[in-house]
Structure formats: structure tokens, C-alpha cells
Amino acid sequence: MKLILAIISDEDSNPVISELGKEGFGVTKLCSTGGFLRSGNTTIMVGADEEKVPEVIDIIKRKCKTRKKAMPNLDLSGGTGVMGMAFPVEVTVGGATVFVLNVERFEKL
């Protein structure tokens, strides 16, 4: 048995959870925050037999999309110490970070 932890964008959470449910996987959803932009994330936990792990990862991969987002440049000095105008910087957000862990014991009570 494996435990799959996936940290995904809030925007992708409903499609991922819905698809995993359709395929018969139980999902636990945790709200989380972190990463470069401190944006809202969802951490999902899925327990699966070892042979089903690639199927879970494939669903996550198909449903989690990266996207470009304009963010304000927080360093207004440009490294010079002189204040200037803030120009937005385009960054890539989304996708998923996935961890697959061994489960020593599993009980459903």
C-alpha cells in the first residue's frame, strides 16, 4: 500500500478530486498555503495499492495545468537601492508536487 500526497493549485483541486472519485479512489482534501507566491493550494491524500499508483499520478498530471500569471515585482529598487516603478513579472504557477510514501499499516475503522 502507498500513500500519495499531492500539492496542487486550488484551481485544479475540484477536477482532480472529481476524476479520482470517478475512478474509485478515496481522497482526503486538506487546505494548504505555501510555495513561492504563498498562494492557496490543496493537498490531497490518496491511499492506493502499489500497482494503482501510476493511474493516480496520471490523473493528477492530466488535470493539473501550469499557467502564466502576472505578479507585481516586489523589488522596486532593482538592486540599486533607488525606488522605481513596479512592473509586473510573468511567473509560471500550477502543476503538482507529488510524494509517494510507503504505508506500513492501514486500518479503516
User: Which tens digit of pLDDT belongs to each residue from 33-74?
Assistant: 776 556 678 999 999 999 999 999 999 999 998 777 777 666
Q: Which has the higher per-residue pLDDT, 81 or 93?
A: 93
73 and 88 Cβ atoms separated by less than 8 Å: yes
For the whole model, what pTM was predicted?
0.76
* Mean pLDDT along residues 79-88: 62
**For 16-39, how does the pLDDT look when each residue is reduced to its tens digit (9 = 90+)?**
999 999 999 999 999 887 765 566
Which CATH number goes with the domain that contains 13? 3.30.70.120
Q: What share of the chain is helix, strand, coil (3-state, %, to 5)?
A: 25, 45, 30
> Cell 493549485 belongs to which residue?
9
Is residue 107 included in any domain, yes or no? no
Comparing 84 with 57, which gets the higher pLDDT? 57
Chain length of the chain: 109
Q: Does 72 fall in a domain? A: no
Residue 86 covered by a domain: no
Question: What Å distances lie between residue 35 and 29, 41, 96, 104, CA to CA?
Answer: 18, 9, 11, 29
Q: Is residue 11 part of a domain?
A: yes
Q: Is the pLDDT of residue 87 over 80?
A: no
Name the pLDDT band for 108 (thresholds 50, 70, 90).
confident
**Domain encompassing residue 34:** 2-66+93-102
Residue 31 confidence (pLDDT): 83
Mean pLDDT value of segment 92-101:
86
Total domain count, the chain: 1
